[in-house]
Amino acid sequence: MPIFEFRCLECGNIFEKLFIKTGEEVIIECPKCKSPSFERVISRTNYVMGSGKGGSKPKVTTKSCSSGNDCMTLEIPGPDE
């Protein structure tokens, strides 16, 4: 199960997000200040997905939400069969 780490750009809080399902799109926000501004922290402990075949990298996309705020969503790629 992939765990991703993020750092809030507003308050500096570092939080983790655990993704149960693959292929889902989630909206991430800081649990402390609810800011949608964050950056990905590359964790020291790399997770291993399965047998490690082929390029399953999460895709981070930025899009504009209502009222002009930027939101980021993270798309977790499904297993590559």
Q: List interacting residues with Zn ion (CB under 5 A).
A: 8, 10-11, 13, 30, 32-33, 35
Min dist. Cβ of residue 28 to Zn ion (A): 11
Least distance (Å) between residue 36 CB and Zn ion = 10
* Long-range Cβ contact pairs of 75-81 (< 8 A, separation 24 or more): 75/23, 75/24, 75/25, 76/2, 76/19, 76/21, 76/22, 76/23, 76/24, 76/25, 76/26, 77/22, 77/23, 78/22, 78/23, 79/22, 79/50, 80/53, 80/54, 80/55, 80/56
Nearer to Zn ion by Cβ, of 38 and 76: the residue is 38
Q: Residue 64 Cβ, how far from Zn ion at the closest point, in Å?
A: 20
